[in-house]
Structure 1
Amino acid sequence: TGRSKRLINQSDGQQRLETRSPRTNQSETDQFMDGRKPILVFSDAGGTGRSYHASLDAAFQKRRIHFLLEPGWRADRAIQGLGRTHRTHQANTPLFRPVT
């Protein structure tokens, strides 16, 4: 989502602030596309130029379920976000779930 920091819950109940690099976002995307990470959260800020569809070339071809949260006021950007999980050369079409 373009975040540079996130809170991590530790086993002792404490929280710590973790710094995230641009490489971290790519690593999480790769984990999702390989099926090692079941959920991927992305936004307009963090998803530019990326594809998250069930590509025939990807190891993880399971159907994507795309929950649309806060699409904003620009329909073209919302449609672009939906297009990240629905592309040509895909094994399965995504299931879109608008959340109100």
Structure 2
Amino acid sequence: LDSLIDRLGGHTMVAEMTGRTGRLVRSANGREIIVQQRGKAEDEVEQVNVKECIRFNSGQKLVAIISDAASTGISLHAGRSFKNQRRRVHMTLELPWSADKAVQQLGRSHRSNQVHAPIYKLVISDLA
């Protein structure tokens, strides 16, 4: 996940909404990888996720990555009340086993009062 975030512009461009308490971040000089805390306890991580959601919806961050830990209770659609009204491209790397959880996750980027419907892309791989 850290490599993907790095390739997508790093933590300054990618809103991470997961249950992780730490992450690996490239240093300012680009030569070192350092461990950075996202939050010490579950409550703190949830607060970080809420702030990341706000940063994405305001346009401060252009990419959002969510896990099952953040797949409920957040809106990532191109809402009329959000500064960031760009059309969302929702790429799913891992669908939940349960259909209702999958629909819940897909619903983060497709909601009422949106400017644009999202584009869904299901990513598949031969890797097991």
TM-score by length of 1: 0.92
**Alignment partner for residue 113 of structure 2, among 81, 89, 98?**
89
Residues 61-96 of structure 1 show CA distances to partners (whole Å, capped at 9, x for unaligned) of: 110000011103111111100001000011110000
Pick which of 1-10 and 23-32 moved more. 23-32
Residues 1-100 of structure 1 aligned to structure 2 (within 5 Å): 1-10=18-27, 11=29, 13-21=31-39, 22=45, 23-100=47-124
Count of equivalent residues: 100
Distance in 2 (CA, whole Å) between partners of 1:43 and 1:51 is 14
Distance in 1 (CA, whole Å) between partners of 2:37 and 2:76 is 24
**1:7 shift after superposition:** 0.5
Ranked by relative contact order (alpha carbons within 8 Å, sequence separation 6 or more), the top structure is: 1
SS at match of 1:51: coil
SS at match of 2:91: strand
Amino acid at match of 1:99: V
TM-score by length of 2: 0.73
